[in-house]
A and B are shown apart, each in its own frame.
Chain A
Amino acid sequence: MNEEPANPCACKTESKKTSRRDFLLATGFGLNTLAGAMIGIPLLGYVLSSFFKPNPLTKISLGPVENFPEGKTRFASYRNPMPRQWDGQTADIPCWVRRIQGNDFQVFAINCTHLGCPVRWFEESKLFMCPCHGGAFYEDGGHAAGPPPRGLYTYEVKVEQGELFIMGGVLPNLSNQNV
């Protein structure tokens, strides 16, 4: 204990050395944090880009209105408006088109509002039935039976110059359709 102040020079050199090391350590940490952030933030941006992208609804043609007889519900499909070359068949999106009369249309998403399975139309009983959990819907898309929380999802419909258009390209689910 008594000898400590006797050799202050050694202490000083020691602390000087440490401070240089400390400086290098801090610099090392700092530079790596900076570089890591410069690599990491774009990486997160890349992965999360789909997280922040708004859903692009696109006007898509389903063909001339004559294809859809009045009072009937018909199967139709459209190509994903934002396709990749390697989408294959997954870019064909099915839907149900109901022409009530004239230019009065309802276009339903294929996906059951319960868990998204494809509903099938039965012309005779005028019902949509789901093969997964037995959801059933009326001709106008209203909920008829089973666990779905609401009626079928509908696309926004436009008829222009005898051609039927829908606003599509987004897989309908409870988060992007009004409940």
Chain B
Amino acid sequence: MNNISFNKFYRKFNILSLILIVISLVFLIFKGLNYGVDFKGGTLIELRTTDKTNNISLIRDSLNQMNLGDVSVKKFGNETDFIVKFEKQNSNDPEFIKNIKNKLSSSIGEIDFRRVENVGPKVSSELLKSGIIAISLSLAAMLLYIWIRFEWQFSLGAILAIFHDVIITLGLFSIFSLEINLSIVAAVLTIVGYSMNDTVVIFDRVRENLRKYSDIKIFDLTNISINETLSRTIITSVTTLLALLSIYLFGGEILKGFSLAMILGVIFGTYSSIYIANPILVALNVSQRTIVKEEEKN
């Protein structure tokens, strides 16, 4: 069995996590998130040009003449592929997209619109709202589940670990201005599930060990439990990361943001199960009596 003194570093890593959370929150509050058209409204066009010499500024210049609001143009995977985003959303005018296509064709040659997304302000605010509700609901549901299955100290530890993962993942998205769209919400929810999964495995072991050893303090008991489950933690993280890395590298441009969020989430989820969830059990001074009392009550 492994015998690594994880518990020696509880304090140091807690301070690190706290710093990361504060930085993330500062960025989230002052810089905010880079919402995609799903949540901000507007138009997204993925286009492919036939001419390899086309560059971003050429496309931007010709779009700027059309009075479309804030225009952003980015390379998207291939040399010939671009993502164009702008504020204006005018789906009711059937000529709108056609005009843009004609205008672009005339200035940069033959192009193919591979994808067009056009989201009105009403829909985007609804999508944002339902995304926030979905994440909050799933947090609440898991809190409830853990509360039913474990004692409240455990459920607090698990939830704080999840908040930690979600805040830092979103913080990184804010710092690097990565786009938040519908699939990122799905990724965040999966992170929540994964992080919870990881925490539950260690907690189950902590509870088992609490029953077994009455003379070991929770500080050392968490360390024993982490070590006992460590190889599982590593193996599962590795296989999950292998799968995610494969999506990130080979799954195409559309899934890049999604898989990146998941990769970050798995790393932070694994870390937080050890360094957030367990120190909280220590801080709350969980002992054999905590679980025995609960069991007597039932």
A and B physically associate: no
> Which residues of B are interface residues toward A (Cβ below 8 A)?
none
> Which residues of A are interface residues toward B (Cβ below 8 A)?
none
